[in-house]
Amino acid sequence: MNDKKMHIESRLAQIGSVEEPVTGAINYPIYQATAFRHPKLGQSTGFDYARTKNPTRSVLEAAIADLESGDAGFACSSGMAALQTVFTLFAQGDHFIVSLDLYGGTYRLLEQILSKFGISSSYVDTNDLAALEEVRQPNTKAILIETPTNPLMMVTDIGAVSAWAKQHQLLTIVDNTLLSPYFQRPLELGADIVVHSATKYLGGHNDVLAGLIVTKGEVLSQQVGFLHNSIGAVLSPTDSYQLMRGMKTLALRMERHESNALTVAKHLKEHPQVAEVFHPGLEDHPGYDIQKKQASGNTGIFSFKLTDARYIEPVLRHIKLVAFAESLGGVESLMTYPTVQTHADIPLEIREAVGVDDTLLRFSVGIEHVDDIIADLDQALEAARREIQEG
């Protein structure tokens, strides 16, 4: 259903529900076919080969384009596949400007793979227009923004950076994974491309691997569509169905994620074993005002630093309700240690320069009862304190 007059909660709940005209199925079917019959020579049903177009995937792609206020959507086999598809818009000798605090997998793709093909990147605080101007080169073609960033939750003014990029004929690409279109829609703020690791909040249940791209503009949409088909890292029909099923409850989940995370962040901020909390919903966060201006809510992920790195191992060993696991955005609470997990591919000097050190934990707060989450954290921190104190 694509009625812009409806609230986003209704559009999410109705994904695929009126798309199947023959049987009226409320849940759009999984079309497992890879090939489709032609009515006659020179005619097509619109579906020929599943890599190019699949009915189930097409409904998902139309839904994410609608939710992000874009012109076209593309479903990929993972978030990294989505980024790689976008990056192939560019050529040897091109240069990117990239968020300084960056997911380690994106850094690995840029520095260990794309660099082999002559594509270079400069990493800066993308909220600093003077810094952007300083690193801009004649061959700069795009700016890639994470906002909030992973894991330090740095916030970029999407509107201001997009306007700056347009002045210099650069594409603005925004990774919107951490907020989802429920809370933030970068294309409405001037961005050209949005990418998602849909494995995270959009899927929401730690059970589907997927990536999404949304484009603004007919020419750009055609270019990405060509690459999506040519590269072929497309999402399967079954995964497309699972992702749509997860997205139907996105509004409900994001509200609980946001509420729980902010409550836990405020609790940890006052905890004697916690040195610093990084959450853009806290009023002393440097990006608080920008976040409030450009987003209608906050994510369920934040990071915090302990006062002593020796607490890390026992805390991760003693958490019970919270799982020590990578990834984020699922209904279950997960905690990870970025310096050796999600950001291990980023060189030590770069990690430490931005603040990803050996005291930092990243917390993806789930939808469990917030009192249970806090109780689990408190007992793990207390157990760690006793172990260190007793030697």
Pairing mode of beta strands 193-197, 171-175: parallel
Question: Which H/E stretch holds residue 378?
Answer: helix 370-390
DSSP string, 215-243: E-SHHHHHHHHHHHHHH--BPPHHHHHHH
* Closest C-alpha among 263, 227, 266, 246 to residue 330: 246
Residue 351 contacts residue 303 (beta carbons within 8 Å): no
Residue 245 known to be catalytic: no
**How far is Cα 299 from Cα 135, in angstroms, rounded to an integer?**
30
Amino acid at 286: P
Catalytic residue among 28, 31, 103, 201: 103
Residue 103 known to be catalytic: yes
**How far is Cα 349 from Cα 372, in angstroms, rounded to an integer?**
37
378: which 2 tokens? 């408190």
Catalytic residue among 51, 248, 256, 269: 51
> Cα–Cα distances in Å, from 237 out to 99, 198, 248, 363?
33, 15, 17, 31
**How far is Cα 147 from Cα 145, in angstroms, rounded to an integer?**
6
Catalytic residue among 175, 192, 239, 376: 175
**How far is Cα 102 from Cα 89, in angstroms, rounded to an integer?**
21
Residue 248 known to be catalytic: no
Q: For the packed helices 55-67 and 237-247, what is the interaxial angle rounded to 10 degrees?
A: 30
Terminal CA-CA length for the chain:
61
32: which 2 tokens? 């497992």
Residue 362 known to be catalytic: no
Neighbours of 319 (CB within 10 A): 21
Torsion of CA 290, 295, 298, 302, to 10 degrees: -50
Pairing mode of beta strands 95-99, 72-76: unpaired
**How far is Cα 147 from Cα 287, in angstroms, rounded to an integer?**
10
Catalytic residue among 136, 185, 200, 253: 200
93: which 2 tokens? 């000798």
Residues with active-site annotation: 51, 103, 175, 200
